[in-house]
Structures are given as C-alpha cells and as structure tokens.
Amino acid sequence: MRLLILGTGWMAQEHARQFGKIQGVEIVAAVDVDKKRVDEFADGFNIPNRFTSLEDALKWGEFDAAANVTPDRIHHPTTMALIAAGKPVLCEKPLAENFEKAKEMADAAERAGIINMVNLTYRSVAALQKARAMVLAGEIGQVRHVEASYLQSWLVSKFWGDWRTDPKWLWRLSRGHGSNGVLGDVGIHILDFASYGAALNIDSVFCRLKAFDKAPGNRIGEYDLDANDSFTMALDFSNGAFGVVHATRWATGHHNELGLRIYGDKGGIEVVHNLEGSELKACIGENIETAKWQVLDPGSVPTNYQRFADAVRSGVQAEPSFHHAAELQKVLDLAVVSDAKRTELRASADTQ
C-alpha cells in the first residue's frame, strides 16, 4: 500500500512511525501548506515526494490511500476531495466540526464504496476490546450502569509544557481560536470508550460544561480563555442503562488517563488506561459475594493503523468508520445545546 500523509504536524509523526512499522506499507508522499514543515517532515521519515497542496498531490495521484492529519476544520474539505478521487482515508478525530459535515463525509465515502476509518486511538487498547467481548458474551449480564472518565492535569502541571506561555495549549482554551474545549478535544474519545466498551448505543444526553477563570480577565495575550475545561454528562443507553461520563483538565495526579466501569446484574468490569499502560479487572461469578476483583490478561490487538492497512488490502470495511464518528459527533453537538438549554436531548445515536 502506497500511503500519502496529509498534514505534517506533531500527530503526523505518530502516523509515520506507526505506518512505517507495517510490512507492505510504503509512505510515498507528504502534503502541507508550509513548505519548510513538509520538507523537514519528509526528510525526517525518508519520504520521497512532498507537496504544498492536496490538489497537486491528487494530480500526481501515485498513492493508494491517505492519512488525513490536518487541523480539525480542514478535515471536511480535504477528505471530500480524497473521496472524490477514490482514495481510502484514515482521518484523525474529530471527523468534522459538526454532525452535518461529518454525515456528509460518511455518506460520500459509503456512496463511493471506499474504505474509511477514523483514528479513535483508544480502540487499540486491548483491555477495552476484551471488556467489550466480555459484555457481549454475557459475562456480567444485563448492563445497568456505566461510568467513564478522561482525566488530564495540564492546567495544574507542567508535565506537557506551560499552557500559560505555549500557543500549542493556549489555543485549546480559546473558542475564538477554534477550540471547543475539553469536550471537543477528548469528548469523542471518552464517549467511544464508554459506548464501545459497554456495547451500547446512546439514546439521550444531558451535559454541563464549565470554563474556570485562569488568568486576570480570563485572557492571555490574544487568547480569551473561554473554552470549557471540564464537562459532565448523564447518558441514557439503548438498553435502558444509565451512564455518567466526565472529563477535565484539572485532574491533579493524572497526566492522561481514561477509566471505564461497567456494572451489570451479574458482575462488573473496570478498565484503566494511562501513560503507564492498561489494566483490566472483573468481579464476576463467586467473587461477587466477597467483592473480589481479579486482574485479567486482555492479550493484544492490532492498532488502527494496522486495521486500516488490512482493510485497504482486503477491500473489507473496518471500524471505527466515518459513520460511527459522525454519530458520536451528533452526541457532542447535542451536548453543547443541552448545556445551553439546561435540558436533556434525545440522540438515538449508533455509537458502538
């Protein structure tokens, strides 16, 4: 498979590293509007062809598939151009800025009959995949309650750098610079973690968003610090189960951690994934009476990059697809409206 990488920012480096490990995948081209950046990226990964416009790359056309690692607002126009050219696409999350654009992309890809995937990173967590398999196998019975959290601490820790002086972080705090806060940044990840792990679709959502004061006048330089830092959601799932999902950038002691707890009428499952790795625990069978949790070996699973490469080779669509990401975007869009109206909204989204 000859791969083109579109966008050469820091996440593109991960794409290049991961695809570079896959036998039979050759990264043949890179595209970025910044010539210096694309040249440095291409030189660093020994990529022979580089372009400063997608149009020029499509005219060249000597590639089989593309990884779209452009900024969020650029996903829609660039992916639509790739679809029109018949090129399979692995797109970074979120698929688009809103549900309407995401659905347009999903519909176009399906009409064109091309492989399409969204890089929801945490699908590569073996503990999550094993948890889902256990739920589907009925090992915890009927799911009744789901808790999920995405915890970061970069507003209280300089582990990732100082947000007060680094534009890489400041823009994430400013709606005027295109940020929808922690909801837009990691909301799709934790919603996917919860609904996929519990093997349930989301029926309705009630959300609260909060941006805390972080500087005099809540402003630093050109950045108004008005994007949400924390969110909480109450969810109803398709089987009647209840869910609580939250995320924050104020979680002292948690650099980057996802947690999931799934409780059924016959047992429970817990997943924790952070920079140190993953852990899967279950309380099932006779252990229910003594509240004993057993650590399980989840095995290993292929990465999204491997699944995309396999799908392109075989022609068989893999998950997570554009359609799935669009349905998650519907929930995120409704969450914003829910907060503004202080009301629960129906989603009926196919989110697993």
Enter the tokens of residue 117: 């995937």
Rounded CA Rg of the chain: 21
Single pTM value for the model: 0.92
Mark residue 284 as left, alpha or beta (left: phi above 0; alpha: psi -120 to 50; beta: remaining).
beta
Q: What is the pLDDT of residue 26?
A: 98
Enter the tokens of residue 229: 């830092």
Q: What is the pLDDT of residue 168?
A: 85
Residue 39, CA distances (Å) to 36, 52, 54, 63, 92 in order = 5, 10, 15, 18, 22
* Domains detected in the chain: 2-121 (3.40.50.720), 123-301+322-349 (3.30.360.10)
How far, in Å, CA of 66 to CA of 240, rounded? 39
The contacts of residue 216 (CB under 8 Å, 6+ apart) are none
Q: What is the pLDDT of residue 347?
A: 87
Tens digit of pLDDT for each residue in 90-113?
999 999 989 999 999 999 999 999
Q: How many CB atoms lie within 10 A of CB 3?
A: 27
Q: 3-state class of 286 per DSSP?
A: coil
Residue 79, CA distances (Å) to 12, 44, 168, 182 in order = 16, 25, 24, 24
Is 178's pLDDT higher than 90?
Answer: no
Tens digit of pLDDT for each residue in 286-330?
999 999 999 999 999 999 999 999 999 999 999 999 999 999 999
How far, in Å, CA of 279 to CA of 283, rounded? 14
Is 249's pLDDT higher than 80?
Answer: yes
Q: What is the pLDDT of residue 329?
A: 95
Could you give the percent of the chain with pLDDT greater than 70? 100
Averaged confidence pLDDT in the chain: 96
What is the rounded (10 degree) CA torsion for 249, 251, 257, 262?
A: -110
Tens digit of pLDDT for each residue in 6-54?
999 889 999 999 999 999 999 999 999 999 999 999 999 999 999 999 9
